[in-house]
């Protein structure tokens, strides 16, 4: 994981951007433990990013530690996360979560500028959830107050 983060942060894809064509980013494993496997792939044509989830398990605790590394494409005075959950081709849940709000920056990286590197290692709070067995498709998009994409990923969650 550390290697991926370093690689992500030192190889801005913009250098080879335009001739990358239709190639997809590699699939990364965010976690694989306790009957839960989370694979993700960046769906931002401009860049990949690093993500790992610690203590991954079918019963997700209310505080999960993650590690996340990315080069910012946009300023993030405000930052929002949209999550769409799909199972067997049908949409189950859409969810929007404010990560950085103007008067309520929850994380140390809120307010960082375009071009800056972010590396976050620490807790994110979520609802304590029991993931039901199965295979899910999850689409994640981070965007700022101008609706400009900061990061985008599609993930596969396999719970067995
Ligand atoms: C992301 O989406 C692409 C295109 O639909 C798909 O081929 C790929 O398997 C997905 N990756 C993950 C990790 O879900
Ligand atoms: C959003 O757009 C406005 C108007 O173009 C601009 O002044 C502002 O800096 C933009 N904010 C971000 C975070 O890019
Ligand atoms: C989630 O959003 C998509 C696209 O906007 C929509 O097609 C879908 O019906 C929504 N799903 C739910 C469960 O609201």
**Domain CATH code at residue 66:** 2.60.40.770
Which residues contact residue 134 at a Cβ distance below 8 angstroms, ignoring those fewer than 6 apart?
87, 158, 159
Question: How many other CB atoms are found less than 10 A from the CB of residue 110?
Answer: 16
3-state secondary structure of 24: coil
| Ligand 1: residue whose CA is nearest its atom 3 | 154
| Ligand 1: residue whose CA is nearest its atom 10 | 154
Question: What is the domain range of residue 124?
Answer: 2-14+22-159
| Ligand 2: residue whose CA is nearest its atom 10 | 146
CB 84 within 8 A of CB 97: no
Residue 4 has pLDDT above 90, yes or no: no
Q: Which residues line ligand 1 (CB under 6 A)?
A: 27, 39-41, 154-156
Q: How many domains does the chain have?
A: 1
CB 43 within 8 A of CB 153: yes
pLDDT at 17: 43
Confidence of residue 158 (pLDDT cuts 50, 70, 90): very high
102, two tokens: 């103007």
Question: Would the CB of 96 count as within 6 Å of ligand 3?
Answer: no
**Residue 111 Cα to ligand 3 middle (Å):** 30
CA distance 87 to 133: 11
User: SS3 string of 33-84?
Assistant: ECCEEEEEEECCCCCCCEEEECCCCCEECCEEEEEEEEECCCCCCCEEEEEE
Question: Would the CB of 106 count as within 6 Å of ligand 2?
Answer: no
Residue 101 has pLDDT above 60, yes or no: yes
Residue 83 has pLDDT above 60, yes or no: yes
pTM of the complete model: 0.84
Residue 12 has pLDDT above 50, yes or no: no
Report which of 76, 38, 24 is spatially closest to residue 159, judged by C-alpha positions: 38
Residue 15 has pLDDT above 80, yes or no: no
Mean pLDDT of 47-62: 87
pLDDT at 105: 82
pLDDT at 104: 84
pLDDT at 16: 43
pLDDT at 22: 59
- Kindly report the average pLDDT of the chain as a whole number: 86
Residue 132 has pLDDT above 50, yes or no: yes
The greatest distance separating any two alpha carbons of the chain, rounded to the nearest whole angstrom, comes to 43
Bigger pLDDT: 49 vs 4: 49
**Residue 28 Cα to ligand 3 middle (Å):** 26
């Amino acid at each position: 994981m550390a290697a991926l983060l370093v690689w992500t942060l030192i190889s801005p894809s913009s250098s080879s951007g335009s001739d990358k064509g239709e190639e997809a980013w590699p699939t990364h494993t965010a976690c694989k433990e306790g009957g839960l496997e989370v694979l993700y792939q960046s769906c931002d044509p401009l860049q990949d990013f690093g993500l790992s989830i610690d203590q991954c398990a079918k019963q997700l605790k209310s505080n999960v530690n993650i590690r996340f590394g990315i080069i910012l494409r946009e300023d993030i005075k405000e930052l929002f996360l949209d999550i769409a959950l799909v199972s067997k081709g049908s949409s189950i849940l859409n969810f929007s979560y404010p990560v950085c709000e103007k008067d309520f920056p929850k994380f140390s990286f809120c307010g960082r500028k375009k071009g800056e590197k972010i590396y976050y290692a620490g807790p994110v709070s979520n609802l304590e959830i029991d993931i039901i067995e199965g295979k899910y498709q999850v689409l994640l998009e981070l965007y700022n107050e101008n609706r400009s994409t900061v990061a985008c990923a599609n993930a596969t969650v396999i719970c067995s």
